[in-house]
């Protein structure tokens, strides 16, 4: 039964790790609680306000960074900034001399191009 022993050992080590983690969380919670009780009410209120302002500043900075990144993304991917754009040179789209635009669209109609049979059954 070597496999069963191995499985038991692994599960027991996982449960031991979970128990240690829970104990560490509990210890941390208790130490913060003791530290908070040692402080005066004015000091706790001041720290609360400072933390709120800090969170607001971080949120504003994140918003500005996200806005700059999206603006840069849209600016870089703009059709006017691409090197192959015909709009960049001031040419009209309707008067372009690309051969692909002069070809007939093979997908118009009701026939399958590959089999030359009707696409839909009646």
45-67 pLDDT, tens digit each:
999 999 999 999 999 999 999 99
Instruction: Enter the tokens of residue 22.
Output: 């829970």
Residue 26 within any structural domain of the chain: no
Give the single-character DSSP code of 118: B
Q: Is residue 25, in this structure, part of any structural domain at all?
A: no
CA distance readout (Å), 95 to 80, 84, 103? 18, 16, 14
In contact, 86 and 93? CB cutoff 8 Å: yes
For residue 27, is it within any domain? no
Say how many domains are in the chain: 1
Residue 79 has what pLDDT?
Answer: 57
The per-residue pLDDT for 119 is: 58
Q: How many residues does the chain have?
A: 122
How does pLDDT run across 62-117, given as a tens digit for each residue? Answer: 999 999 988 887 776 655 555 555 555 656 666 666 677 677 776 676 665 566 65
Domain that holds residue 70: 40-78
Grade residue 29 by pLDDT with cuts at 50, 70 and 90: very high
Backbone phi and psi for residue 94, each to the nearest 5 degrees, phi listed first: -70, -20
Look at residue 63 and tell me if it is in a domain.
yes
pTM (whole model) above 0.75: no
The Cα–Cα gap between 9 and 16 comes to 10
Bridge partners, residue 118, by sequence: 111
The whole-number average pLDDT for the span 115-122 is: 59
């Amino acid at each position: 039964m070597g496999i069963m022993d191995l499985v038991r050992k692994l599960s027991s080590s996982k449960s031991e790790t979970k128990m240690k983690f829970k104990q560490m969380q509990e210890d941390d919670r208790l130490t913060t609680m003791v530290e908070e009780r040692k402080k005066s009410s004015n000091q706790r209120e001041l720290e609360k306000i400072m933390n709120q302002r800090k969170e607001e500043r971080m949120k504003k900075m994140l918003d500005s960074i996200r806005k700059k990144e999206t603006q840069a993304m849209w600016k870089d991917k703009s059709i006017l900034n691409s090197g192959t754009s015909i709009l960049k040179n001031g040419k009209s789209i309707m008067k372009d001399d690309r051969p692909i635009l002069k070809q007939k669209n093979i997908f118009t109609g009701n026939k399958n191009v590959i089999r030359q049979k009707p696409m839909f059954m009646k």
